[in-house]
Chains A and B, each alone.
Chain A
Amino acid sequence: DTGVSQDPRHKITKRGQNVTFRCDPISEHNRLYWYRQTLGQGPEFLTYFQNEAQLEKSRLLSDRFSAERPKGSFSTLEIQRTEQGDSAMYLCASSWQANTGELFFGEGSRLTVL
């Protein structure tokens, strides 16, 4: 499968714990995106990378969230000191810079904070 892959697919954690999600984009894509989606809402932009550079980060994102893409390939999204409000589906997507807006999404990582 050469699509976007995310790991883990499901994560249940207790409030206050740290969690990390990994995303492997389509190999030739140089842009990588993180979104968060809750029930009944559209995907909410968190951040995006072009190669290893983080170009934009949502102002809604607290300092507890951090994302990296160290070698311009896979990316990680870490949430520190999780809160119940962090429970959501975390979606990763990738695209080719020259593309006019087609993002290829992974199946997502579902986080449940107890």
Chain B
Amino acid sequence: RKEVEQDPGPFNVPEGATVAFNCTYSNSASQSFFWYRQDCRKEPKLLMSVYSSGNEDGRFTAQLNRASQYISLLIRDSKLSDSATYLCVVRGSGGTSYGKLTFGQGTILTVHP
């Protein structure tokens, strides 16, 4: 089983739509979670951290369910500029693994006019 699993998509949505991505992780001891964004032929960049209580950043909402080992990202009012690959990222649980960040496969989002 992969450490971090995502539905690769692609998701094709019209502007203004709400879209949600899911991610599961295998190590129940993992403590920190993130969403990264990667534009076509570009390097990944941090989009937002995911906190236990859930958190929002503008149109983006991240949720964590530790019991189910599940992370989600919700994008409201999609913009053309949201088209990208969204990567779910999990930090290692302890010791030297604490610094290791494991990326999921990524979910491709295309927002069309």
In contact, B106 and A41 (Cβ under 8 angstroms): yes
Indicate if the CB atoms of B43 and A48 lie closer than 8 Å: no
Say whether A42 contacts B104, CB under 8 Å.
yes
Closest Cβ of chain A to B103, distance in Å, is 4
Stretch touching chain A among B12-20, B56-64, B69-77, B92-100: B92-100
- Is B99 in contact with A103, judged by CB distance below 8 angstroms? no
Determine if A101 and B43 form an interchain contact, defined as CB atoms under 8 angstroms apart.
Answer: no
Report the separation of the CA atoms of residues A43 and B92 in the bound assembly, to the nearest whole angstrom: 15
CA–CA, A26 and B31, complex, Å: 26
Q: Are B103 and A55 in contact (CB under 8 A)?
A: no
Please report the C-alpha to C-alpha distance between residue A63 and residue B108 in the assembled complex, in whole angstroms.
33
Interfacial chain A residues near B92, Cβ < 8 Å: 56
Mask for A45-74, Cβ within 8 A of B = 1, else 0? Answer: 100101000011000000000000000000
Measured between alpha carbons, how far is A112 from B100 in the docked complex, in Å?
A: 27
A25 interfacial by beta-carbon distance below 8 Å: no
B45 touches A105 (CB 8 A): yes
**Alpha-carbon gap, A104 to B102, bound state (A):** 15
Question: Given the known A-B contacts A41-B106, A42-B104, A101-B49, are A55 and B99 also in contact in the complex, defined by CB atoms under 8 Å?
Answer: yes
Offer 13 A-B interface pairs, CB within 8 angstroms, sorted by A.
A33-B101, A35-B103, A41-B105, A42-B104, A43-B87, A43-B103, A44-B103, A45-B100, A45-B101, A45-B102, A48-B99, A56-B100, A101-B34
